[in-house]
Chain A
């Protein structure tokens, strides 16, 4: 038999039908929905007079639009409230399980899916949200879709999808101190640009990937979309199985042992051919930061802003427009530049490990006076864990305020907006113009880099706080 990639194995086993010269009819195992991209899809069903084909395979949450303070009160913004209510009505009407606002298991869709055991190896997973790629960390084909496609899945549990090409990214070597999975993926994107993987689905391999926890793998897969890839996946291994074994329950799986034996078969064959193969060395990665308005515009934190754009064109108009927006100049260094806001959260870095990392640096220190910090857990479960581990107290004592879960400042649909012209170090995934509020200036970075800035009030190399034994400097 011809050797196959993991991507091919999962994809091919989910094709209901291949249309000649057209897309494949792809069967979807798990469908996540949220309040922002689903209402028009439900309207579509109503207009057609049809129901939801397999309601048990769709899971809903409210996350994008919700406040992170006083969640027990009614949402103040009328449109947002209507959207959240519409989701509840639709879920009720069609029998879809909803982890909505104030549900004890509520949270960002890409954080709760894995937590609740709904994301499992070998699945096809879609959601009307581009960061669905996060779930690829479990060895799944997971990708974002538009609302028309949400409607297709609700109506038939299938979508029409052309098969993407395959790319393998291998990362070997040892990571240096102070370098996290966020830095890995920001480094890769800065190397290949914000459109470098468009048309591809990525498989991440190599020893440096194998050594990562599930949380760290999710961060990497999450940002695959920021280089244009439809998604990214990592073959399941012992780390994956350990994570799954520790979950309180896995819906639909009765005998975890024999299921793991099945999951063990999920991997690319040795001689499988990829359309593109890239290799990077983990040892060359430093803590990263972005200086522009797309995630490809990133650099090592102690570097200077390049004087030409990624194509080597001398300061193209798009490149200059982006630097102007940020208030930066080509050739400038960012270390020491003042920061106004720090946001830790989102489906990229809103998991318990991220809050532990942040705590690593703030323990025994105080927040800088010029910093407004938004500390937003990715889910209720993360929020509870933070309390249980004493992190919430630690944060409060250091002058921070821990909010309630949600997407928050990652896309600023709620009140959590960064004001015009202000600089925010953000652990989220997009530094687009106005992403965190009109006129906001986003600098993407890891939780460690965010913590260092929260303490000093300036862009700071987190390695200053961490010594060679990976211990935090007092």
Chain B
């Protein structure tokens, strides 16, 4: 796993105001045949980004030059569906560092945290407000402070605290890696195996 650090991020946002964006939309199955982690960003939201004949779909937000930024703001229940970590790799590879929504699917959330992509849950109301603001004014900036766990819309000063598992927070702030952590536990795992019964 790449060791990615996250501390403070100030960025404009890219709005994706749809609910239930599933992992098949984020990265369609036909692009999952690669055996490395790189390059999935090219096919992020492939079937929305390109027309059937393979041209850029100018109506899709990623093709709209007025929007840019490292924060993806998406409707509720983002990342539902398959466990494919490729979805997170694609979002990260494209250049996003954080995804903001009012609700994430569980596996997506774990996968994101395991790859240094920060999932931030905000209230439905704030999400709606933010989406409207960004669509009206694409220069709208947000500030994410992981240490303080705050998410702020800079222009309005709207600031909320977001939740994150303290262990995961520590990993992200320090760029620590789960597998190193587990490898250091080998003796505990061995003794667990020796003592294990059915229940």
Binding partners A and B: yes
Residues of A that sit less than 8 Å from B by CB: 9-10, 13, 16-17, 19, 21-23, 25, 27, 36-37, 39-40, 43-44, 48, 50, 53, 64-65, 77, 79-80, 82-83, 86, 122, 128-130, 132, 144-149, 151-152, 155-158, 160-162, 164, 194-195, 198-199, 228, 230, 262-263, 265-266, 293-294, 296, 316-318, 321, 411-413, 420, 430, 432-435, 438-439
Q: Report if A77-B106 is in contact (Cβ < 8 Å); known contacts: A22-B165, A148-B111, A195-B76.
A: no
Bound complex: CA A152 to CA B183 (Å): 9
Bound complex: CA A434 to CA B47 (Å): 8
Closest to B22 in A: A432
Query: Is the CB–CB distance between B35 and A40 below 8 Å?
Result: yes
Query: Is the CB–CB distance between B83 and A432 below 8 Å?
Result: no
B155 an interface residue at 8 Å Cβ cutoff?
no
**CB proximity of B26 to chain A, nearest CB, Å:** 10
Give the 5 A-B CB pairs with smallest separation, nearest first.
A22-B167, A79-B33, A146-B85, A146-B111, A39-B35
Contact of A155 among B183, B188, B199 (CB under 8 A): B183
Q: Report if A194-B85 is in contact (Cβ < 8 Å); known contacts: A156-B189, A158-B185, A434-B24.
A: no
Q: In B54-101, which residues have CB < 8 Å from any A CB?
A: 75-77, 80-86, 88
Q: Chain A binding site: helix, strand, loop or mixed by DSSP? A: loop
Q: Report if A294-B80 is in contact (Cβ < 8 Å); known contacts: A80-B33, A146-B111, A155-B179.
A: yes
**CB proximity of A349 to chain B, nearest CB, Å:** 18
A27: which B residues are within 8 A, CB to CB?
A: 189, 192-193, 196
Closest to A410 in B: B29
Query: Is the CB–CB distance between A157 and B178 below 8 Å?
Result: no
As a 0/1 sequence over residues 34 to 68 of chain B, the CB contacts with chain A under 8 angstroms (1 = contact) are: 11110000000001000010000000000000000
Bound complex: CA A82 to CA B185 (Å): 34
Residues of B that sit less than 8 Å from A by CB: 1, 17-20, 22, 24-25, 28-30, 32-37, 47, 52, 75-77, 80-86, 88, 103, 105-107, 110-111, 114-115, 165-168, 178-179, 181-183, 185-186, 188-189, 192-193, 196-199
Ordered by A's residue number, 19 sampled pairs between the chains whose C-beta atoms are within 8 Å are A21-B165, A39-B35, A43-B35, A43-B36, A65-B32, A77-B33, A82-B35, A146-B84, A148-B85, A148-B115, A152-B178, A160-B182, A195-B103, A199-B106, A228-B106, A294-B20, A317-B17, A318-B18, A438-B47
Query: Is the CB–CB distance between A228 and B111 below 8 Å?
Result: no
Closest to A150 in B: B85
Query: Quick one: which of A80, A147, A155, A433 has the most chain B CB within 10 A?
Result: A147
Q: Report if A439-B24 is in contact (Cβ < 8 Å); known contacts: A21-B167, A39-B35.
A: no
Query: Is the CB–CB distance between B24 and A321 below 8 Å?
Result: no
Q: Report if A156-B183 is in contact (Cβ < 8 Å); known contacts: A164-B106, A265-B199.
A: yes
Closest to B25 in A: A433
**CB proximity of B132 to chain A, nearest CB, Å:** 13
A147: which B residues are within 8 A, CB to CB?
A: 85-86, 111
A420: which B residues are within 8 A, CB to CB?
A: 52
Query: Is the CB–CB distance between B106 and A430 below 8 Å?
Result: no
Q: Report if A19-B167 is in contact (Cβ < 8 Å); known contacts: A65-B33, A294-B20, A432-B24.
A: yes
Query: Is the CB–CB distance between A198 and B185 below 8 Å?
Result: no
B81: which A residues are within 8 A, CB to CB?
A: 130, 430, 432
A21: which B residues are within 8 A, CB to CB?
A: 165-167
Query: Is the CB–CB distance between A439 and B52 below 8 Å?
Result: yes
Query: Quick one: which of B33, B88, B114, B185 has the most chain A CB within 10 A?
Result: B33
4 more A-B residue pairs beyond the given contacts A148-B85, A433-B24, with a C-beta to C-beta distance below 8 A: A19-B167, A22-B167, A318-B75, A412-B30
A130: which B residues are within 8 A, CB to CB?
A: 81-83, 107
A199: which B residues are within 8 A, CB to CB?
A: 106
**CB proximity of B57 to chain A, nearest CB, Å:** 13
Query: Is the CB–CB distance between A198 and B103 below 8 Å?
Result: yes
**CB proximity of B90 to chain A, nearest CB, Å:** 13
B25: which A residues are within 8 A, CB to CB?
A: 432-434
Query: Is the CB–CB distance between B199 and A9 below 8 Å?
Result: yes
Contact of B77 among A86, A195, A430 (CB under 8 A): A195
**CB proximity of B14 to chain A, nearest CB, Å:** 17
**CB proximity of A39 to chain B, nearest CB, Å:** 4
**CB proximity of A328 to chain B, nearest CB, Å:** 17
Contact of A194 among B34, B80, B115, B189 (CB under 8 A): B80
Query: Is the CB–CB distance between B83 and A129 below 8 Å?
Result: yes
A413: which B residues are within 8 A, CB to CB?
A: 29-30, 32-33
Query: Is the CB–CB distance between A160 and B181 below 8 Å?
Result: yes
**CB proximity of A434 to chain B, nearest CB, Å:** 5
Query: Is the CB–CB distance between B186 and A156 below 8 Å?
Result: yes
B193: which A residues are within 8 A, CB to CB?
A: 27, 157
B52: which A residues are within 8 A, CB to CB?
A: 420, 438-439
Q: Report if A194-B77 is in contact (Cβ < 8 Å); known contacts: A22-B166, A430-B24.
A: yes
**CB proximity of B99 to chain A, nearest CB, Å:** 15
Q: Report if A160-B178 is in contact (Cβ < 8 Å); known contacts: A16-B188, A36-B33.
A: yes
Closest to A85 in B: B35
Query: Is the CB–CB distance between A149 and B114 below 8 Å?
Result: yes
Bound complex: CA A48 to CA B184 (Å): 14
Query: Is the CB–CB distance between B178 and A228 below 8 Å?
Result: no
Contact of A144 among B36, B83, B181, B189 (CB under 8 A): B83
Bound complex: CA A40 to CA B192 (Å): 28
